[in-house]
Amino acid sequence: MSGANSSSLTPDFFILNGVPGLETAHVWISLPFCFMYMIAVAGNSGLIYLIGHEEILHRPMYYFLALLSFTDVTLCTTTVPNMLCIFWFNFKEIGFNSCLVQMFFVHMLTGMESGVLMLMALDRYVAICYPLRYTSILTNTVIAKAGLATFLRSVMLIFPFPVFTKRLPYCRGTLIHHTYCDHMSVAKVSCGNAKVNAIYGLMVALLIGVFDICCISVSYTMILRAVVSLSSADARHKAFSTCTSHICAIVITYVPAFFTFFTHRFGGHTIPHHIHIIVANLYLLLPPTMNPIIYGVKTKQIRESIIKFLMRDKMGIT
């Protein structure tokens, strides 16, 4: 078998085929993805820098935002450079172990992203329902422990993905119809029984995605009750306006995530494969691209910090 060791059914490499059916348009498809990646790297790096250097942003909400920005920029960096090499230079080959490493980081970081969005919902709940105790409840130690717990949860749940995938035999070839090493896309190349992969993947989706969405829903239910109980319409508007950026981040993260998850498992014969691949890439790129823009536009303190930084830089003050 081409690309496989003679002593086993483990291939030396896989071939990532990009967007099947649209090979002639790869260069054109790459342009918006490249543009989005540059915005994502610049925007998220800028947010992390601002939060680290501006004292007004040294608050729990912005620490969680910095964690989300770091997760987002790392996530898109695990896939986009390799995807652009496929589109621009036709470099489609990826080593077997490299594929498993990419698979782990893609799914671990998407799980981390979901967890951070859940933590940000809890942050808004504490800020609105317990405003006088906000900073005493969400101390730096609590924030660090919450971030570490979210990271460890994602690592422990995702680690079996490459383990289960590595044990499979690969005798159908090495061609993967995708731009990166997605768990089930790799498992489907196998000629072995991938039911364990499918069942465990569904369990992880429930343990991470559904659990986080339930926590977010409960948090916003409590927030809504607290906001409605306020006597002043202006106070209600001000309280809920602090949540709009987070709600936008939730929508742009979970909508393409659910589309990708369900079409991969239940809509494979009704939705064109190239649509699935493009949406799967948007799922990894859209949140990192849009989150800095959303928070930069809708959050007053961040807008003021950006203006302050630009003015200080223009005046040559360090």
185 found inside a domain: yes
User: Residue 80 is part of a domain; what is its CATH number?
Assistant: 1.20.1070.10
Write down the pLDDT at residue 317: 52
Taking Cα atoms as reference points, which of 95, 198, 281 lies closest to residue 273? 281
3 found inside a domain: no
7 found inside a domain: no
In this structure, of 14-18, 21-25, 70-74, 256-260, the range with the lowest mean pLDDT score is 256-260
183 found inside a domain: yes
- Residue range(s) defining the domain that contains residue 292: 13-303
Whether 239 shows a pLDDT value over 90: the answer reads no
317 found inside a domain: no
Residue 80 phi/psi, 5-degree rounding, is -65, -45
134 found inside a domain: yes
Whether 252 shows a pLDDT value over 80: the answer reads yes
pLDDT digits (tens, 9 = 90+) for 254-299: 988 888 777 766 655 677 888 888 988 998 999 999 999 999 888 8
Quote the percentage of the chain above a pLDDT of 90.
Answer: 62
pLDDT band of residue 222 (cuts 50, 70, 90) is very high
Mean model confidence pLDDT for the chain: 89
The C-alpha atoms of residue 54 and residue 179 are separated, in whole angstroms, by: 38
pLDDT digits (tens, 9 = 90+) for 159-186: 999 999 999 999 888 999 899 999 988 9
b/e 175-190 (16+ beta carbons within 10 angstroms → b):
ebbbbbbbbbbbbbbb
Q: Could you tell me the pTM of the whole model?
A: 0.91
For the chain, how many structural domains are there in total? Answer: 1
27 found inside a domain: yes
Count of other CB atoms within 10 angstroms of residue 248: 17
Taking Cα atoms as reference points, which of 221, 108, 113 lies closest to residue 160? 108
The C-alpha atoms of residue 234 and residue 171 are separated, in whole angstroms, by: 65
Whether 151 shows a pLDDT value over 70: the answer reads yes
Q: What is the CA radius of gyration of the chain?
A: 22
The C-alpha atoms of residue 244 and residue 229 are separated, in whole angstroms, by: 19
Write down the pLDDT at residue 179: 94
216 found inside a domain: yes
